[in-house]
Amino acid sequence: MSTAVAARSDFPALAAPGFVYLDNASTTQAPLAVIEAIAAFYRNGHANVGRGVYGLAERTTAAYEAARAQVARFLGLRHPSELVFTSGATDAINLVVEGWARRRVTAGSRVLTTVLEHHANLLPWQRLTRQHGARLETIDIDEEGRLDLDDAAAKLPGATVLAVTAISNVLGVRMPLPALAALAREHGVCMVVDAAQAVGHEPVDFAAIGCDFMALSAHKMLGPTGIGVLAARRERLLELEPVRVGGGMVREVAALGSDGPSRWREPPWGLEAGTPHIAGAIGMAAAAEYLAALGLPRIAAAEESLVRALLDGLRELEGIRVLGPGPGAARAGIVSFTFASHHPHDVAGLLGELGVAVRAGHHCAVPLMRHLGAPSTVRVSLGPYNDEGDVTALLAGLRHVTRVLA
């Protein structure tokens, strides 16, 4: 009997016998509930959101705003208006950088981050600080990748922004977000969280964390690609300038030839120019509903159990270096490792031939790879449909790989 939290039969992509999908940190598979919600949106007809006064347009707008409300509840927001739909976490972070930080980070400013970050939460800040003559500094981590809170407390005074991941997409390290947020508030520092690797795997409560901005992508939480959100405290959203302007987000358009400015709608609508990804928002809401029904605490507990089994099995294989902390509160459902004698791409390729899907490479975290002295790793990442049989198949596959490459 499967020990997975989610029924494998809910996921058409996992129907092939013997297929083991362990690349969930890259993207997750979608359940029928999500697929059917998107299909129903198109099957039943749709219009654009906004000003249409006929029935189909009103129903489409209502469905879009209902999706916003569903995702907002899922994330623990105080009100749906604190949620902006974006094309994903990358888009959301860039919106914060260009729409909020660009006017506040100046020469001599300091932006704090970590070496654990995905490029999506590093490159926009790197470019901004270089353009403005500001400094991008990192908070220290220990040998297993855990953040040094004392170093954070020492470096936060005088900083403008703290940009951190919730969970490292390489090491699976959980960040102490509430403690960091308390320090950031104490020193008046705006805190931006990349929650892409956490949402869908464990409870994420925006209000309880206490950050200013949070970015995430639907495709990493059983939803569709091309849709994500920026969650934010209301006062921060009101400070955001639109990065894209156009239809749907404008309240008043200045007369041609006049010196007067155009005026934007209140957020979140004033930050969503053009026709939004309506079907994507509906699919994301369906994914949130599906995950809530499964129970995020159950998913987190199941993934922790699988990580323990995986780490125990990896310790029995020769020549493997496992990166990151041991099982427990600091480790989420992501495990990266290297072989002393085999390239990660060769390992992943041979596993793929056996029907076991893992990721190999630098995982869009090149600075971390340099820090670890490992140009690339094999990465195993869990989802709610994985069970002990998947871990067993992976370990058997790794034993096969060592024999083939010997």
**Peptide linkage before 261 cis (omega within 30 of 0):** no
Q: Based on the domain organization, do 123 and 97 belong to the same domain?
A: yes
**Statement to judge: residues 128 and 248 lie in one domain:** yes
CATH assignment at residue 315: 3.90.1150.10
Q: Report the pLDDT value the prediction gives residue 37, as an integer from 0 to 100.
A: 98
* Residues 26 and 39 reside in one and the same domain: no
Domain membership flag for residue 322: yes
Answer yes or no: do 246 and 114 share one domain.
yes
CA distances for 82 relative to 152, 206, 229, 270, angstroms: 27, 10, 10, 12
Check which CATH number belongs to the domain holding 104 and give it.
3.40.640.10
pLDDT at 260: 83
Cβ atoms of residues 22 and 382 within 8 Å: yes
Of the residues 275, 293, 311, the one at which a domain ends: 293
Asked whether residue 275 is domain-assigned, the answer is yes
> 263 with 325, same domain?
no
pLDDT at site 1: 52
Best CA proximity match to 356, nearest among 5, 20, 96: 20
Polymer length of the chain: 406
Last residue of a domain, one of 239, 258, 293: 293
Q: What is the per-residue pLDDT for 259?
A: 85
Helix/strand/coil (H, E, C) string of 336-354? EEEECCCCHHHHHHHHHHC
Return the structure tokens found at 233: 């405290």
Whether residue 18 is found in the same domain as residue 39: no
How many CB atoms are located within 10 Å of the residue 12 CB? 12
Confirm whether 148 is domain-assigned.
Answer: yes
In a domain, 92, yes or no: yes
Same domain for 185 and 318: no
Same domain for 108 and 184: yes
Pair 281, 320 in one domain: no
The reply to whether the predicted model has a pTM over 0.95 is yes
- CB within 8 A of 74, min separation 6: which ones? 288, 289, 291, 292
- 43 found inside a domain: yes
Is residue 150 domain-shared with residue 206, that is, in the same domain? yes
What pLDDT was estimated at residue 52?
A: 87
Domain finish residue from 293, 316, 339: 293
339: which 2 tokens?
A: 């072989």
Single-letter code of the amino acid located at 347: V
Helix (H, G, I), strand (E, B) or coil at 374: coil
* 266 HSE (CA, 13 A, CB side): 5
Domain that holds residue 387: 8-30+296-405
Query: Does 2 map to a domain?
Result: no
Q: Return d(Cα 233, Cα 207) in angstroms, integer.
A: 9
Number of domains in the chain: 2
For residues 40 and 164, membership in a common domain is answered with yes
Residue ranges for the chain with pLDDT beneath 50: none
Catalytic-labelled residue, pool 245, 364, 366, 374? 364
Where does residue 241 rank: exposed (0-12), middle (13-18), buried (19+ CB within 10 A)?
Answer: middle
For residue 130, with 0-12 CB atoms within 10 Å meaning exposed, 13-18 middle and 19 or more buried, which class applies?
A: exposed
Is the residue at 279 inside a domain? yes
User: Are 165 and 246 in the same domain?
Assistant: yes
> If you search the block for the tokens 């908070």, which residue do you land on?
139
Structural domain contains residue 3: no
Q: What is the pLDDT of residue 365?
A: 98
- Residue 294, pLDDT score: 98
| Helix runs in 102-176, H state only | 123-132, 149-155
Rounded Cα distance, 232 and 64, in Å: 19
Whether 364 is catalytic = yes
